Amino acid sequence: MKIILQPDPILGCVCDPIAASEYSRWRRIGIEMLQLMHDRNGIGLAAPQVGLLSRCIVVSVSGIEFVAINPMIIWRKGRMGAREGCLSAPGKLVRVDRAESIRLVYITTIRGSPHERRARGLLARVIQHEVDHLDGICKVK
């Protein structure tokens, strides 16, 4: 597994949802993605960044670490601007405006069950960045 770099066209593709029959496979892939993300000193990684066009992200911020299958942001509030980096665009930082608080629904890889998470600040920013990747959006180029 390796990180796909800009300007690879896969980073502009919209990802497909993951079927329930594939959750156990994605548990293993999610663990591999977390390891790769940590190896590169990242705090978030999306499946297309490793060449997989499926809706999965991994996040590790301030002691909160999780794998999310089919994540969807269902609520956003406030605005905050900050500089962001991206593992697919090493060395680049770009100012991006994001919602300050969000609510995310997703499938957990632990039980394959629905989960909801509220996030604010850096955690909300990372989640929004990774979900953007699933929709073929990369604001850091």
CB 119 within 8 A of CB 127: yes
Of residues 110, 104, 101, the one with CA closest to residue 67:
110
Q: What backbone torsions phi and psi does residue 70 show, to the nearest 5 degrees?
A: 50, 50
In a domain, 103, yes or no: yes
C-alpha to C-alpha distances, 24 to 15, 16, 58, 113, 139, nearest whole angstrom: 19, 17, 15, 12, 31
Domain range holding 58?
A: 9-134
What value does the mean pLDDT take over residues 93-112?
A: 93
Please give the single-letter amino acid code of residue 118: R
Catalytic (active-site) positions: 130
> What is the model's pTM?
0.96
| The pLDDT of residue 141 | 79
CATH (domain of 32) = 3.90.45.10
What is the distance between the alpha carbons of residues 118 and 41, in angstroms, rounded to a whole number? 24
- Give the count of beta carbons closer than 10 Å to the beta carbon of residue 109: 22
Buried b (16+ CB within 10 A) or exposed e, 46-78: bbbbbebebbbbbbbbeeeebbbbbbebeeeee
In a domain, 3, yes or no: no
Q: What is the mean pLDDT of the chain?
A: 96
- 120 bridge partner residues: 101
Tell me: pLDDT of 30 over 80.
yes
Task: Kindly indicate the confidence band of residue 106, based on its pLDDT and cuts at 50, 70 and 90.
Answer: very high
What is the distance between the alpha carbons of residues 124 and 39, in angstroms, rounded to a whole number? 22
In a domain, 130, yes or no: yes
Domains identified in the chain, total number = 1
In a domain, 54, yes or no: yes
Tell me: pLDDT of 110 over 80.
no
Task: Kindly indicate the confidence band of residue 136, based on its pLDDT and cuts at 50, 70 and 90.
Answer: very high
In a domain, 2, yes or no: no
| The pLDDT of residue 85 | 96
What value does the mean pLDDT take over residues 134-138?
A: 96
Which ranges constitute the DSSP H helices of 1-77?
23-39
Task: Kindly indicate the confidence band of residue 11, based on its pLDDT and cuts at 50, 70 and 90.
Answer: very high
Give per-residue pLDDT as tens, 47-89.
999 999 999 999 999 999 999 999 999 999 999 999 999 999 9
| The pLDDT of residue 111 | 75
